[in-house]
A and B are shown apart, each in its own frame.
Chain A
Amino acid sequence: MNAPSSHSITTRDLSLWYGTFQALKNVTLNIQHGLITSLIGPSGCGKTTLLRCFNRVNERYGYVTTKGEIRLLGKNIYDANVSLQALRRSVGMVFQRPNPLPISVYENVVFGLRIHSERRALPRRVLDDAVEKALTEVGLWHDLKDHLDRKATTLQLEQQQKLCIARLLPLKPRIILMDEPCSALDVEATRAIEELIFALKGHYTIVIVTHNMAQARRASDECIFMLLGEVMEHRRTEELFLTPANSRTSDYIEGRYG
Protein backbone atom coordinates (compact mmCIF):
# COMPACT_ATOMS: atom_id res chain seq x y z
CA MET A 1 0.00 0.00 0.00
CA ASN A 2 3.03 2.25 0.19
CA ALA A 3 3.57 2.49 -3.56
CA PRO A 4 2.63 5.80 -5.15
CA SER A 5 -0.94 5.61 -6.28
CA SER A 6 -0.12 6.72 -9.82
CA HIS A 7 1.74 3.46 -10.44
CA SER A 8 -0.08 0.23 -11.16
CA ILE A 9 2.97 -1.96 -11.50
CA THR A 10 6.30 -1.47 -9.81
CA THR A 11 9.22 -3.83 -9.85
CA ARG A 12 12.34 -3.66 -7.69
CA ASP A 13 15.53 -5.47 -8.70
CA LEU A 14 13.59 -8.15 -10.52
CA SER A 15 15.80 -10.93 -11.87
CA LEU A 16 14.65 -14.13 -13.48
CA TRP A 17 16.43 -17.28 -14.56
CA TYR A 18 15.30 -20.05 -16.91
CA GLY A 19 17.44 -22.81 -15.46
CA THR A 20 20.85 -21.16 -15.50
CA PHE A 21 20.08 -18.59 -18.19
CA GLN A 22 19.35 -15.18 -16.76
CA ALA A 23 16.53 -13.60 -18.75
CA LEU A 24 15.89 -10.53 -16.59
CA LYS A 25 18.58 -8.53 -14.82
CA ASN A 26 17.66 -6.21 -11.95
CA VAL A 27 14.63 -4.74 -13.63
CA THR A 28 13.28 -1.74 -11.75
CA LEU A 29 10.21 -0.10 -13.21
CA ASN A 30 7.22 2.04 -12.39
CA ILE A 31 4.37 1.60 -14.81
CA GLN A 32 1.83 4.41 -14.77
CA HIS A 33 -1.75 3.80 -13.89
CA GLY A 34 -4.33 4.10 -16.65
CA LEU A 35 -1.84 4.51 -19.50
CA ILE A 36 -0.70 2.33 -22.32
CA THR A 37 2.90 1.31 -21.84
CA SER A 38 4.72 -0.54 -24.56
CA LEU A 39 7.68 -2.86 -24.12
CA ILE A 40 10.05 -2.92 -27.08
CA GLY A 41 13.38 -4.51 -27.81
CA PRO A 42 14.97 -7.13 -30.03
CA SER A 43 13.97 -10.81 -29.79
CA GLY A 44 15.21 -12.44 -26.63
CA CYS A 45 15.53 -9.20 -24.70
CA GLY A 46 13.16 -10.42 -22.02
CA LYS A 47 10.12 -8.27 -22.76
CA THR A 48 7.68 -11.18 -22.99
CA THR A 49 9.29 -12.77 -19.94
CA LEU A 50 8.79 -9.56 -17.98
CA LEU A 51 5.17 -9.34 -19.08
CA ARG A 52 4.55 -12.94 -18.05
CA CYS A 53 5.92 -12.17 -14.58
CA PHE A 54 3.10 -9.75 -13.89
CA ASN A 55 0.50 -12.51 -13.69
CA ARG A 56 3.03 -15.18 -12.69
CA VAL A 57 2.09 -17.34 -15.65
CA ASN A 58 5.82 -17.93 -16.15
CA GLU A 59 5.81 -20.23 -13.19
CA ARG A 60 4.00 -23.03 -14.92
CA TYR A 61 7.39 -24.13 -16.16
CA GLY A 62 9.15 -25.64 -13.19
CA TYR A 63 12.65 -24.39 -14.04
CA VAL A 64 12.00 -20.68 -13.48
CA THR A 65 13.52 -18.84 -10.51
CA THR A 66 12.67 -15.26 -9.68
CA LYS A 67 14.32 -12.77 -7.35
CA GLY A 68 13.24 -9.26 -6.45
CA GLU A 69 9.88 -7.72 -5.95
CA ILE A 70 6.82 -6.98 -8.07
CA ARG A 71 4.03 -4.86 -6.68
CA LEU A 72 0.71 -4.72 -8.45
CA LEU A 73 -1.59 -1.99 -7.19
CA GLY A 74 0.61 -1.80 -4.12
CA LYS A 75 0.52 -5.48 -3.31
CA ASN A 76 3.58 -7.71 -3.54
CA ILE A 77 2.51 -10.56 -5.82
CA TYR A 78 5.17 -12.90 -4.47
CA ASP A 79 3.76 -12.74 -0.96
CA ALA A 80 2.98 -16.17 0.39
CA ASN A 81 -0.68 -15.30 0.92
CA VAL A 82 -1.31 -14.22 -2.67
CA SER A 83 -3.72 -16.48 -4.49
CA LEU A 84 -2.70 -17.06 -8.09
CA GLN A 85 -6.35 -17.34 -9.07
CA ALA A 86 -7.22 -13.96 -7.54
CA LEU A 87 -4.10 -12.35 -9.00
CA ARG A 88 -4.88 -13.58 -12.50
CA ARG A 89 -8.46 -12.50 -12.10
CA SER A 90 -7.35 -8.88 -11.65
CA VAL A 91 -4.65 -9.05 -14.34
CA GLY A 92 -5.94 -10.03 -17.76
CA MET A 93 -3.68 -11.33 -20.50
CA VAL A 94 -3.97 -11.30 -24.29
CA PHE A 95 -1.70 -13.61 -26.22
CA GLN A 96 0.23 -13.47 -29.44
CA ARG A 97 -2.01 -15.90 -31.25
CA PRO A 98 -5.69 -15.43 -30.50
CA ASN A 99 -6.55 -18.34 -28.22
CA PRO A 100 -10.27 -18.46 -27.58
CA LEU A 101 -11.33 -21.72 -25.99
CA PRO A 102 -13.02 -24.25 -28.28
CA ILE A 103 -16.45 -23.45 -26.87
CA SER A 104 -19.15 -20.99 -27.93
CA VAL A 105 -18.63 -17.23 -28.12
CA TYR A 106 -21.02 -16.84 -25.22
CA GLU A 107 -19.24 -19.37 -23.03
CA ASN A 108 -15.88 -17.80 -23.80
CA VAL A 109 -17.05 -14.44 -22.52
CA VAL A 110 -18.58 -15.84 -19.33
CA PHE A 111 -15.78 -18.36 -18.74
CA GLY A 112 -14.06 -16.09 -16.22
CA LEU A 113 -17.29 -15.44 -14.33
CA ARG A 114 -18.07 -19.13 -14.19
CA ILE A 115 -14.70 -20.12 -12.76
CA HIS A 116 -14.63 -17.33 -10.20
CA SER A 117 -18.17 -17.51 -8.85
CA GLU A 118 -20.63 -20.00 -7.51
CA ARG A 119 -23.16 -21.29 -9.97
CA ARG A 120 -25.96 -19.83 -7.82
CA ALA A 121 -24.52 -16.33 -8.11
CA LEU A 122 -24.86 -16.41 -11.88
CA PRO A 123 -28.44 -16.33 -13.05
CA ARG A 124 -28.90 -16.31 -16.80
CA ARG A 125 -29.69 -12.61 -16.80
CA VAL A 126 -26.37 -11.67 -15.19
CA LEU A 127 -24.49 -13.74 -17.75
CA ASP A 128 -26.47 -12.31 -20.66
CA ASP A 129 -25.77 -8.78 -19.47
CA ALA A 130 -22.07 -9.50 -19.04
CA VAL A 131 -21.85 -10.91 -22.57
CA GLU A 132 -23.62 -7.97 -24.14
CA LYS A 133 -21.56 -5.45 -22.20
CA ALA A 134 -18.21 -7.09 -22.92
CA LEU A 135 -18.90 -7.68 -26.60
CA THR A 136 -20.20 -4.13 -27.01
CA GLU A 137 -17.07 -2.77 -25.41
CA VAL A 138 -14.83 -4.54 -27.92
CA GLY A 139 -17.13 -3.79 -30.84
CA LEU A 140 -18.21 -7.35 -31.55
CA TRP A 141 -21.79 -7.19 -30.30
CA HIS A 142 -23.26 -5.96 -33.55
CA ASP A 143 -21.62 -8.73 -35.60
CA LEU A 144 -22.00 -11.58 -33.18
CA LYS A 145 -25.21 -10.97 -31.25
CA ASP A 146 -27.01 -13.51 -33.41
CA HIS A 147 -24.14 -15.98 -33.38
CA LEU A 148 -23.40 -16.30 -29.70
CA ASP A 149 -23.56 -20.07 -29.87
CA ARG A 150 -21.01 -20.23 -32.66
CA LYS A 151 -17.79 -22.00 -31.81
CA ALA A 152 -15.26 -19.30 -31.03
CA THR A 153 -12.44 -21.02 -32.86
CA THR A 154 -14.33 -20.63 -36.16
CA LEU A 155 -14.35 -16.82 -36.05
CA GLN A 156 -11.97 -14.67 -38.09
CA LEU A 157 -8.66 -14.02 -36.37
CA GLU A 158 -9.48 -10.39 -35.71
CA GLN A 159 -12.78 -11.35 -34.10
CA GLN A 160 -11.02 -14.05 -32.10
CA GLN A 161 -8.51 -11.57 -30.74
CA LYS A 162 -11.26 -9.11 -29.86
CA LEU A 163 -13.10 -11.93 -28.15
CA CYS A 164 -9.96 -12.75 -26.18
CA ILE A 165 -9.99 -9.16 -24.93
CA ALA A 166 -13.74 -9.27 -24.32
CA ARG A 167 -13.51 -12.35 -22.11
CA LEU A 168 -11.24 -10.47 -19.70
CA LEU A 169 -13.67 -7.62 -19.15
CA PRO A 170 -16.45 -9.29 -17.10
CA LEU A 171 -13.82 -9.96 -14.42
CA LYS A 172 -13.16 -6.20 -14.22
CA PRO A 173 -9.38 -6.45 -14.33
CA ARG A 174 -7.30 -3.42 -13.37
CA ILE A 175 -4.42 -4.33 -15.61
CA ILE A 176 -4.39 -5.89 -19.06
CA LEU A 177 -1.19 -7.46 -20.38
CA MET A 178 -0.85 -7.91 -24.14
CA ASP A 179 1.84 -10.04 -25.68
CA GLU A 180 2.22 -8.92 -29.30
CA PRO A 181 -1.55 -8.93 -29.72
CA CYS A 182 -1.43 -8.00 -33.41
CA SER A 183 1.44 -10.11 -34.68
CA ALA A 184 -0.88 -12.76 -36.13
CA LEU A 185 -3.21 -10.21 -37.71
CA ASP A 186 -3.29 -8.33 -41.01
CA VAL A 187 -3.11 -4.56 -41.37
CA GLU A 188 -6.83 -3.91 -41.09
CA ALA A 189 -7.24 -6.15 -38.08
CA THR A 190 -4.20 -4.58 -36.44
CA ARG A 191 -5.74 -1.17 -36.85
CA ALA A 192 -9.01 -2.40 -35.35
CA ILE A 193 -7.26 -3.90 -32.33
CA GLU A 194 -5.18 -0.76 -31.81
CA GLU A 195 -8.33 1.35 -31.87
CA LEU A 196 -9.82 -1.00 -29.33
CA ILE A 197 -6.75 -0.67 -27.12
CA PHE A 198 -7.11 3.11 -27.30
CA ALA A 199 -10.75 2.87 -26.36
CA LEU A 200 -9.90 0.78 -23.31
CA LYS A 201 -7.25 3.23 -22.13
CA GLY A 202 -8.04 5.00 -18.91
CA HIS A 203 -10.20 2.25 -17.49
CA TYR A 204 -7.33 -0.18 -17.50
CA THR A 205 -3.59 -0.05 -17.21
CA ILE A 206 -2.38 -1.64 -20.41
CA VAL A 207 1.07 -3.10 -20.94
CA ILE A 208 1.75 -4.17 -24.48
CA VAL A 209 4.75 -6.07 -25.79
CA THR A 210 5.42 -5.37 -29.41
CA HIS A 211 7.95 -6.14 -32.07
CA ASN A 212 6.61 -3.41 -34.20
CA MET A 213 8.23 -0.10 -33.37
CA ALA A 214 5.74 1.87 -35.41
CA GLN A 215 2.99 0.32 -33.36
CA ALA A 216 4.72 1.23 -30.09
CA ARG A 217 5.09 4.76 -31.37
CA ARG A 218 1.51 5.30 -32.42
CA ALA A 219 -0.29 3.22 -29.81
CA SER A 220 1.42 3.87 -26.48
CA ASP A 221 1.85 6.68 -23.97
CA GLU A 222 5.00 5.39 -22.41
CA CYS A 223 7.64 3.15 -23.83
CA ILE A 224 10.20 0.85 -22.25
CA PHE A 225 13.20 -0.28 -24.27
CA MET A 226 14.82 -3.50 -23.13
CA LEU A 227 18.04 -5.15 -24.19
CA LEU A 228 19.50 -8.47 -23.01
CA GLY A 229 17.28 -8.63 -19.96
CA GLU A 230 17.88 -5.06 -18.82
CA VAL A 231 15.76 -1.96 -19.05
CA MET A 232 17.68 0.56 -21.11
CA GLU A 233 15.24 3.39 -21.17
CA HIS A 234 11.73 4.16 -19.95
CA ARG A 235 10.14 7.46 -20.99
CA ARG A 236 7.17 9.04 -22.66
CA THR A 237 6.88 7.41 -26.04
CA GLU A 238 7.43 10.50 -28.17
CA GLU A 239 10.49 11.48 -26.15
CA LEU A 240 11.96 8.01 -26.42
CA PHE A 241 11.56 8.01 -30.17
CA LEU A 242 12.57 11.62 -30.82
CA THR A 243 15.35 12.14 -28.31
CA PRO A 244 16.55 8.81 -27.00
CA ALA A 245 18.93 9.26 -24.12
CA ASN A 246 20.78 6.01 -24.63
CA SER A 247 22.83 5.40 -27.75
CA ARG A 248 21.69 1.76 -27.88
CA THR A 249 18.08 2.90 -27.89
CA SER A 250 18.69 5.21 -30.81
CA ASP A 251 20.61 2.51 -32.67
CA TYR A 252 17.71 0.09 -32.17
CA ILE A 253 14.95 2.46 -33.20
CA GLU A 254 16.95 3.48 -36.23
CA GLY A 255 17.17 -0.17 -37.15
CA ARG A 256 20.93 -0.62 -36.79
CA TYR A 257 20.33 -3.97 -35.07
CA GLY A 258 17.44 -6.07 -33.80
Chain B
Amino acid sequence: MNNLPPETPAPAGSAVRGVKRPAWARVGERILEGLIYVCGFSAIVFVLGIFAFVLKEALPIFARESFSLTQFLFSDQWYPTSELNKRYGVFAMIAGTGAVTLLAMAIAVPFGIGAAIFLSEFCGPKLREALKIIIELLAAIPSVVWGFIGLSVMSRLIMQYTGAPVGVNVLNGGIILALMSVPIIVSIGEDALKAVPDSYREAALALGVTKWQLIRRVLLPAAKNGLLAAVLLGVGRGVGETMAVLMATGHAVHIPHSVLDSVRTLTANIAAELGEAPAGSDHYRVLFLTGVLLFTLTFGVNLIADLVVRGIKKR
Protein backbone atom coordinates (compact mmCIF):
# COMPACT_ATOMS: atom_id res chain seq x y z
CA MET B 1 0.00 0.00 0.00
CA ASN B 2 3.03 2.28 0.32
CA ASN B 3 3.04 3.02 -3.36
CA LEU B 4 -0.44 4.61 -3.18
CA PRO B 5 -0.53 8.38 -2.79
CA PRO B 6 -1.59 9.06 0.81
CA GLU B 7 -4.81 10.97 0.03
CA THR B 8 -6.15 8.58 -2.59
CA PRO B 9 -9.26 6.71 -1.38
CA ALA B 10 -8.87 3.00 -1.85
CA PRO B 11 -10.63 1.70 -4.93
CA ALA B 12 -13.95 -0.08 -4.39
CA GLY B 13 -13.61 -3.80 -3.98
CA SER B 14 -10.02 -3.73 -2.81
CA ALA B 15 -8.95 -5.29 0.44
CA VAL B 16 -8.41 -1.96 2.19
CA ARG B 17 -12.04 -0.99 1.77
CA GLY B 18 -12.88 -2.75 5.02
CA VAL B 19 -10.85 -0.23 6.99
CA LYS B 20 -13.37 2.53 6.59
CA ARG B 21 -16.80 1.22 5.78
CA PRO B 22 -19.94 3.26 5.31
CA ALA B 23 -22.00 3.92 8.41
CA TRP B 24 -24.96 1.81 7.28
CA ALA B 25 -22.75 -1.26 7.02
CA ARG B 26 -21.48 -0.83 10.54
CA VAL B 27 -24.97 -0.22 11.92
CA GLY B 28 -26.30 -3.18 9.91
CA GLU B 29 -23.67 -5.40 11.38
CA ARG B 30 -24.53 -4.25 14.88
CA ILE B 31 -28.19 -5.00 14.25
CA LEU B 32 -27.40 -8.44 12.86
CA GLU B 33 -25.18 -9.20 15.80
CA GLY B 34 -27.95 -8.17 18.13
CA LEU B 35 -30.49 -10.32 16.30
CA ILE B 36 -28.28 -13.38 16.52
CA TYR B 37 -27.75 -12.65 20.17
CA VAL B 38 -31.52 -12.54 20.70
CA CYS B 39 -31.95 -15.81 18.80
CA GLY B 40 -29.43 -17.44 21.07
CA PHE B 41 -31.17 -16.31 24.19
CA SER B 42 -34.68 -16.93 22.91
CA ALA B 43 -34.40 -20.62 23.77
CA ILE B 44 -33.85 -19.76 27.41
CA VAL B 45 -36.67 -17.24 27.34
CA PHE B 46 -39.09 -19.74 25.82
CA VAL B 47 -38.25 -22.52 28.24
CA LEU B 48 -38.53 -20.25 31.26
CA GLY B 49 -41.69 -18.65 29.82
CA ILE B 50 -43.42 -21.98 29.30
CA PHE B 51 -42.42 -23.20 32.72
CA ALA B 52 -43.61 -19.97 34.34
CA PHE B 53 -46.93 -20.15 32.50
CA VAL B 54 -47.60 -23.76 33.45
CA LEU B 55 -46.57 -23.05 37.02
CA LYS B 56 -48.79 -19.96 37.19
CA GLU B 57 -51.82 -21.95 36.10
CA ALA B 58 -51.02 -24.70 38.58
CA LEU B 59 -49.97 -22.79 41.70
CA PRO B 60 -53.36 -21.55 42.95
CA ILE B 61 -54.34 -25.17 43.66
CA PHE B 62 -52.00 -25.15 46.64
CA ALA B 63 -54.14 -22.49 48.28
CA ARG B 64 -57.14 -24.83 48.31
CA GLU B 65 -57.87 -26.51 51.63
CA SER B 66 -59.09 -29.67 49.94
CA PHE B 67 -55.87 -30.24 47.99
CA SER B 68 -52.89 -32.08 49.37
CA LEU B 69 -49.65 -32.65 47.49
CA THR B 70 -49.14 -36.03 49.16
CA GLN B 71 -52.51 -37.15 47.93
CA PHE B 72 -51.72 -35.83 44.44
CA LEU B 73 -48.49 -37.78 44.23
CA PHE B 74 -49.29 -40.96 46.12
CA SER B 75 -52.99 -41.69 45.78
CA ASP B 76 -54.41 -43.66 42.91
CA GLN B 77 -57.85 -42.08 43.33
CA TRP B 78 -58.51 -39.93 40.29
CA TYR B 79 -62.10 -38.65 40.44
CA PRO B 80 -61.90 -35.07 39.18
CA THR B 81 -65.56 -34.85 38.21
CA SER B 82 -67.19 -36.56 41.20
CA GLU B 83 -70.09 -34.51 42.55
CA LEU B 84 -69.54 -35.19 46.24
CA ASN B 85 -65.92 -36.16 46.72
CA LYS B 86 -63.45 -34.92 44.13
CA ARG B 87 -60.10 -36.68 44.44
CA TYR B 88 -56.96 -35.81 42.50
CA GLY B 89 -54.39 -38.61 42.83
CA VAL B 90 -52.13 -39.23 39.86
CA PHE B 91 -50.17 -42.15 41.27
CA ALA B 92 -51.86 -44.63 38.91
CA MET B 93 -50.83 -42.42 36.01
CA ILE B 94 -47.26 -42.19 37.31
CA ALA B 95 -47.27 -45.99 37.50
CA GLY B 96 -48.75 -46.13 34.00
CA THR B 97 -46.10 -43.85 32.55
CA GLY B 98 -43.43 -45.77 34.43
CA ALA B 99 -44.66 -49.16 33.26
CA VAL B 100 -44.99 -48.19 29.61
CA THR B 101 -41.62 -46.43 29.58
CA LEU B 102 -39.90 -49.31 31.34
CA LEU B 103 -41.28 -51.89 28.93
CA ALA B 104 -40.47 -49.67 25.97
CA MET B 105 -36.87 -49.32 27.14
CA ALA B 106 -36.57 -53.04 27.82
CA ILE B 107 -37.42 -53.58 24.15
CA ALA B 108 -35.76 -50.54 22.61
CA VAL B 109 -32.40 -50.53 24.39
CA PRO B 110 -31.13 -53.93 23.19
CA PHE B 111 -32.46 -53.25 19.70
CA GLY B 112 -31.18 -49.70 19.57
CA ILE B 113 -27.72 -50.39 20.94
CA GLY B 114 -27.45 -53.52 18.79
CA ALA B 115 -28.39 -51.55 15.70
CA ALA B 116 -25.91 -48.81 16.65
CA ILE B 117 -23.12 -51.39 16.98
CA PHE B 118 -24.07 -52.92 13.66
CA LEU B 119 -24.10 -49.54 11.93
CA SER B 120 -20.81 -48.35 13.31
CA GLU B 121 -18.77 -51.57 13.33
CA PHE B 122 -20.15 -54.14 10.94
CA CYS B 123 -21.75 -52.68 7.88
CA GLY B 124 -20.16 -51.10 4.86
CA PRO B 125 -20.51 -47.40 4.12
CA LYS B 126 -23.26 -47.83 1.52
CA LEU B 127 -25.46 -50.03 3.66
CA ARG B 128 -24.84 -47.71 6.60
CA GLU B 129 -26.08 -44.66 4.71
CA ALA B 130 -29.15 -46.53 3.51
CA LEU B 131 -29.98 -47.80 6.98
CA LYS B 132 -29.48 -44.41 8.57
CA ILE B 133 -31.90 -42.83 6.13
CA ILE B 134 -34.48 -45.51 6.84
CA ILE B 135 -34.01 -45.15 10.59
CA GLU B 136 -34.47 -41.41 10.28
CA LEU B 137 -37.67 -42.05 8.35
CA LEU B 138 -38.82 -44.14 11.29
CA ALA B 139 -38.27 -41.10 13.50
CA ALA B 140 -40.27 -38.95 11.12
CA ILE B 141 -43.51 -40.93 11.41
CA PRO B 142 -46.01 -38.71 13.26
CA SER B 143 -46.94 -40.02 16.68
CA VAL B 144 -50.64 -40.11 15.84
CA VAL B 145 -49.84 -42.57 13.07
CA TRP B 146 -48.04 -44.75 15.57
CA GLY B 147 -51.06 -44.50 17.84
CA PHE B 148 -53.25 -45.53 14.96
CA ILE B 149 -51.08 -48.60 14.31
CA GLY B 150 -51.27 -49.44 18.00
CA LEU B 151 -55.02 -49.05 18.08
CA SER B 152 -55.82 -51.03 14.97
CA VAL B 153 -52.99 -53.42 14.02
CA MET B 154 -51.13 -54.06 17.25
CA SER B 155 -54.20 -54.37 19.45
CA ARG B 156 -55.69 -57.03 17.18
CA LEU B 157 -52.42 -58.97 17.18
CA ILE B 158 -52.13 -58.77 20.96
CA MET B 159 -55.65 -60.04 21.47
CA GLN B 160 -55.03 -62.84 18.98
CA TYR B 161 -51.74 -64.03 20.48
CA THR B 162 -52.15 -63.41 24.21
CA GLY B 163 -55.86 -63.94 24.57
CA ALA B 164 -56.17 -60.66 26.44
CA PRO B 165 -59.71 -59.23 26.37
CA VAL B 166 -58.42 -55.76 25.52
CA GLY B 167 -55.62 -55.15 23.05
CA VAL B 168 -54.82 -51.61 24.14
CA ASN B 169 -52.59 -51.99 27.18
CA VAL B 170 -49.07 -51.63 28.59
CA LEU B 171 -47.68 -54.15 26.10
CA ASN B 172 -49.17 -52.33 23.14
CA GLY B 173 -48.03 -48.90 24.33
CA GLY B 174 -44.61 -50.27 25.25
CA ILE B 175 -44.02 -51.76 21.81
CA ILE B 176 -45.20 -48.63 20.02
CA LEU B 177 -43.07 -46.43 22.25
CA ALA B 178 -40.09 -48.72 21.76
CA LEU B 179 -40.41 -48.37 18.00
CA MET B 180 -40.54 -44.61 18.44
CA SER B 181 -37.47 -44.46 20.72
CA VAL B 182 -35.25 -46.82 18.72
CA PRO B 183 -34.28 -44.19 16.12
CA ILE B 184 -33.09 -41.79 18.85
CA ILE B 185 -31.12 -44.52 20.60
CA VAL B 186 -29.61 -45.72 17.34
CA SER B 187 -28.48 -42.36 16.06
CA ILE B 188 -27.05 -41.12 19.36
CA GLY B 189 -25.57 -44.54 20.14
CA GLU B 190 -23.92 -44.66 16.74
CA ASP B 191 -22.44 -41.21 17.28
CA ALA B 192 -21.06 -42.39 20.62
CA LEU B 193 -19.41 -45.43 19.03
CA LYS B 194 -18.09 -43.37 16.14
CA ALA B 195 -16.54 -41.01 18.69
CA VAL B 196 -14.35 -43.81 20.06
CA PRO B 197 -10.93 -43.01 18.56
CA ASP B 198 -9.89 -45.41 15.83
CA SER B 199 -6.53 -45.77 17.56
CA TYR B 200 -8.26 -47.81 20.28
CA ARG B 201 -9.60 -50.18 17.66
CA GLU B 202 -6.19 -50.53 16.04
CA ALA B 203 -4.47 -51.04 19.37
CA ALA B 204 -6.82 -53.84 20.29
CA LEU B 205 -6.85 -55.42 16.82
CA ALA B 206 -3.06 -55.46 16.72
CA LEU B 207 -3.10 -57.34 20.01
CA GLY B 208 -5.30 -59.95 18.37
CA VAL B 209 -8.84 -59.33 19.62
CA THR B 210 -11.80 -60.88 17.90
CA LYS B 211 -14.61 -58.62 16.77
CA TRP B 212 -16.71 -59.59 19.76
CA GLN B 213 -13.87 -58.93 22.23
CA LEU B 214 -13.29 -55.57 20.56
CA ILE B 215 -16.89 -54.58 21.13
CA ARG B 216 -17.19 -55.91 24.64
CA ARG B 217 -13.80 -54.98 26.04
CA VAL B 218 -12.98 -51.78 24.19
CA LEU B 219 -15.88 -50.11 22.42
CA LEU B 220 -18.68 -50.53 24.95
CA PRO B 221 -16.56 -49.35 27.91
CA ALA B 222 -15.16 -46.45 25.91
CA ALA B 223 -18.57 -45.38 24.60
CA LYS B 224 -20.56 -46.13 27.74
CA ASN B 225 -21.34 -42.50 28.55
CA GLY B 226 -22.66 -41.80 25.10
CA LEU B 227 -24.67 -44.99 25.09
CA LEU B 228 -26.14 -44.13 28.49
CA ALA B 229 -27.08 -40.71 27.17
CA ALA B 230 -28.77 -42.37 24.21
CA VAL B 231 -30.80 -44.54 26.55
CA LEU B 232 -31.74 -41.60 28.77
CA LEU B 233 -32.90 -39.55 25.80
CA GLY B 234 -34.99 -42.54 24.81
CA VAL B 235 -36.47 -42.53 28.31
CA GLY B 236 -37.18 -38.83 27.98
CA ARG B 237 -39.03 -39.55 24.77
CA GLY B 238 -40.98 -42.30 26.50
CA VAL B 239 -42.02 -40.15 29.43
CA GLY B 240 -43.05 -37.25 27.23
CA GLU B 241 -44.83 -39.05 24.39
CA THR B 242 -48.55 -38.37 24.41
CA MET B 243 -50.68 -39.15 21.39
CA ALA B 244 -49.38 -42.64 20.60
CA VAL B 245 -49.70 -43.86 24.18
CA LEU B 246 -53.08 -42.19 24.57
CA MET B 247 -54.33 -44.31 21.69
CA ALA B 248 -52.45 -47.52 22.50
CA THR B 249 -52.68 -47.95 26.26
CA GLY B 250 -56.41 -48.14 26.90
CA HIS B 251 -56.79 -45.07 29.10
CA ALA B 252 -57.84 -46.86 32.26
CA VAL B 253 -56.81 -45.23 35.56
CA HIS B 254 -55.39 -48.32 37.12
CA ILE B 255 -52.10 -49.45 38.61
CA PRO B 256 -51.00 -52.20 36.20
CA HIS B 257 -50.33 -55.69 37.54
CA SER B 258 -49.35 -57.25 34.25
CA VAL B 259 -48.32 -56.02 30.82
CA LEU B 260 -51.78 -56.89 29.57
CA ASP B 261 -53.48 -54.36 31.84
CA SER B 262 -54.74 -51.12 30.40
CA VAL B 263 -53.23 -47.98 31.90
CA ARG B 264 -53.33 -44.24 31.53
CA THR B 265 -50.20 -42.13 31.37
CA LEU B 266 -49.65 -38.64 32.78
CA THR B 267 -49.44 -37.14 29.32
CA ALA B 268 -52.50 -38.92 27.98
CA ASN B 269 -54.48 -37.77 31.01
CA ILE B 270 -53.70 -34.12 30.33
CA ALA B 271 -54.41 -34.44 26.63
CA ALA B 272 -57.73 -36.15 27.19
CA GLU B 273 -59.10 -34.04 30.03
CA LEU B 274 -57.81 -30.52 29.63
CA GLY B 275 -60.40 -29.75 26.97
CA GLU B 276 -63.28 -30.56 29.30
CA ALA B 277 -61.96 -29.00 32.46
CA PRO B 278 -63.42 -25.49 32.97
CA ALA B 279 -60.61 -22.93 32.92
CA GLY B 280 -59.60 -21.95 36.43
CA SER B 281 -61.29 -24.91 38.10
CA ASP B 282 -59.43 -27.19 40.49
CA HIS B 283 -59.46 -29.93 37.86
CA TYR B 284 -57.85 -27.55 35.38
CA ARG B 285 -55.19 -26.54 37.87
CA VAL B 286 -54.39 -30.11 38.84
CA LEU B 287 -53.88 -30.97 35.17
CA PHE B 288 -51.41 -28.10 34.95
CA LEU B 289 -49.72 -29.39 38.07
CA THR B 290 -49.39 -32.73 36.28
CA GLY B 291 -47.71 -30.75 33.51
CA VAL B 292 -45.25 -29.33 36.03
CA LEU B 293 -44.57 -32.85 37.27
CA LEU B 294 -43.91 -34.07 33.72
CA PHE B 295 -41.76 -31.08 32.97
CA THR B 296 -39.69 -31.81 36.05
CA LEU B 297 -39.37 -35.49 35.14
CA THR B 298 -38.24 -34.92 31.57
CA PHE B 299 -36.04 -32.03 32.60
CA GLY B 300 -34.38 -34.27 35.16
CA VAL B 301 -33.82 -37.05 32.64
CA ASN B 302 -32.47 -34.68 30.00
CA LEU B 303 -30.24 -32.97 32.53
CA ILE B 304 -28.74 -36.29 33.57
CA ALA B 305 -28.28 -37.25 29.91
CA ASP B 306 -26.57 -33.93 29.28
CA LEU B 307 -24.26 -34.27 32.27
CA VAL B 308 -23.38 -37.78 31.12
CA VAL B 309 -22.57 -36.57 27.60
CA ARG B 310 -20.48 -33.78 29.07
CA GLY B 311 -18.64 -36.47 30.97
CA ILE B 312 -17.54 -37.91 27.61
CA LYS B 313 -16.22 -34.64 26.31
CA LYS B 314 -14.20 -33.92 29.42
CA ARG B 315 -12.30 -37.16 29.07
Contacts and interface: CB of A to CB of B under 8 A. Distances in A.
A167 B207 contact: yes
A57 B208 contact: no
Give chain A's interface secondary structure class. helix
Contact of B202 (A85, A95, A111): A95
A86 interface: yes
B203 A115 contact: no
12 contacts: A60-B205, A86-B208, A89-B207, A95-B199, A99-B203, A102-B222, A111-B204, A115-B204, A115-B209, A115-B210, A153-B315, A171-B208
Contacts of B208: 84-89, 112, 115-116, 171
B218 interface: yes
Q: Which of B197, B200, B209 has the most CB of A within 10 A?
A: B209
A92 B206 contact: yes
Give chain B's interface secondary structure class. helix
A103 B200 CA distance: 11
Interface in B198-226: 199-210, 213, 217-218, 221-222
B207 A88 contact: yes
Chain A interface size band reads 20 to 34
Interface string B255-269: 000000000000000
A87 to B, nearest CB: 7
B124 A168 contact: no
A168 B199 CA distance: 16
Interface residues of B, number: 20
A99 B202 contact: yes
Contacts, number: 64
Interface string A211-227: 00000000000000000
Given A86-B208, A88-B208, A102 B315 contact: yes
Interface of B: 124, 197, 199-210, 213, 217-218, 221-222, 315
A62 interface: yes
A133 interface: no
B206 to A, nearest CB: 4
Contact of B207 (A60, A102, A115): A115
Contacts of B217: 111, 114-115
Nearest to A107: B217
Contacts of B202: 57, 60, 95, 99
Contacts of A55: 206
A166 interface: no
Contacts of B210: 85, 115
A57 B205 contact: yes
B280 to A, nearest CB: 57
B63 to A, nearest CB: 54
Contacts of A97: 199
A168 B221 contact: no
Given A62-B124, A95-B199, A115-B213, A101 B205 contact: no
